[in-house]
Amino acid sequence: MATQLKPAPEGKQGECSKEEWQARLDLAACYRIFDHLGWSESIYNHISLKVPGEADTFLINPFGLMYSEVTASNLVKIDVEGNNVGGSPYMVNKAGFTQHGYFHKHLGARADAICHVHTTATMAVASHRDGLLPTNFYACNFQNQIGYHDFEGITVRAEEGERLVQNLGNHSILMLRNHGPVVMDRTIQGMFVKMWALQRACEIQVATLSMGNPVLVPQDVVDVHQRDLSVMSGQGGAGMFDFEAWKRKIDKIDDSWRN
């Protein structure tokens, strides 16, 4: 059963559409879920979501707040040029805008929802010469489905955007070497479940390599795995069931994200 929504607070309800408020709720919930799972990084890193029904606008976290402080109403609405178009008093981390803004601007609906994290496991794999290896069930999901981009420093220069998109190719995950992953999808639910599986793949790879030589899954088996995975993914509502379950979980802990 889907989590019931609270109405928008007075003031904010008249400022945005019902569709935008739903997007704000989903994104705020996502920040709290990431925080609960240990995927936050102090006040840094980002999850962004396109505003439904609008061209070239998206929501992102206020710079200076912890993920545990993000709410539906304090998310910042900006356009792909970095302009604050929602009247928020908060600023946006330039590294978050530069990277996410370029993807939102140039990739269309395939990048409507984007996250970038610095989890220990994903950064470790991003820093490994061979990247993600087919050492486990989850890793097999992503073989030949990830682009890699060599480290160029903090992503604050707009001219790096073209290389980011080129190295992403037609994939939905870009592993920034020595840095961490960028995960994107058409929906926030799809992005979340993809990030969850990638995190598990990286955690297991780090644990496996610590024991010595891993058993690698052959490519022909990976191909069968991915074929069958595409059939099974329809059962999970492309992450919808997962996302709603985690929303129920964080609601029991602290439902202030709905404000």
CB neighbours of 210 closer than 8 A, spacing ≥ 6?
none
One-letter identity of residue 133: L
CA gap 249, 102 in Å, rounded: 33
What is the rounded (10 degree) CA torsion for 123, 38, 202, 165?
Answer: -50
Determine the distance from the C-alpha atom of residue 138 to the mean position of all C-alpha atoms in its chain, rounded to a whole number: 17
* Neighbour tally for 221: CB within 10 Å: 12
Give me the DSSP letters along the chain.
-PPPPPPPPTTTTTTS-HHHHHHHHHHHHHHHHHHHTT--BTTB-EEEEEPTTSSSEEEEPPTT--GGG--TTTPEEEETT--B-S--SS---HHHHHHHHHHHHHHGGGGSEEEE---HHHHHHHTSTT-S-S-SHHHHTTTT-EEEE---SSS--TTHHHHHHHHHTT-SEEEETTTEEEEEESSHHHHHHHHHHHHHHHHHHHHHHTTSSPPPPPHHHHHHHHHHHHHHGGGGGGGHHHHHHHHHHHHHH--GGG-
- Check residue 233 and give its pLDDT: 66
CA gap 39, 119 in Å, rounded: 6
CA gap 146, 258 in Å, rounded: 34
CA gap 99, 115 in Å, rounded: 10
- Check residue 159 and give its pLDDT: 82
- Check residue 95 and give its pLDDT: 67
Please report how many Cα atoms fall inside a 13 Å half-sphere around the Cα of residue 139, on the Cβ side: 23
CA gap 155, 79 in Å, rounded: 18
Structure tokens at 207: 């644990």
Pairing of strands 113-116, 46-50: antiparallel
- Check residue 14 and give its pLDDT: 55
Main-chain dihedrals φ then ψ at residue 176, nearest 5 degrees: -80, 110
Q: What is the pLDDT along the chain (259 residues), one digit of tens a residue?
A: 333 334 444 446 558 999 999 999 999 999 999 999 999 999 999 999 999 999 999 999 999 999 999 999 999 999 888 888 888 888 888 766 777 788 999 999 999 999 999 999 999 999 999 999 999 999 999 999 999 999 998 877 778 889 999 999 999 999 999 999 999 999 999 999 999 999 999 999 999 999 999 999 999 999 999 999 877 666 656 799 999 999 999 999 999 999 9
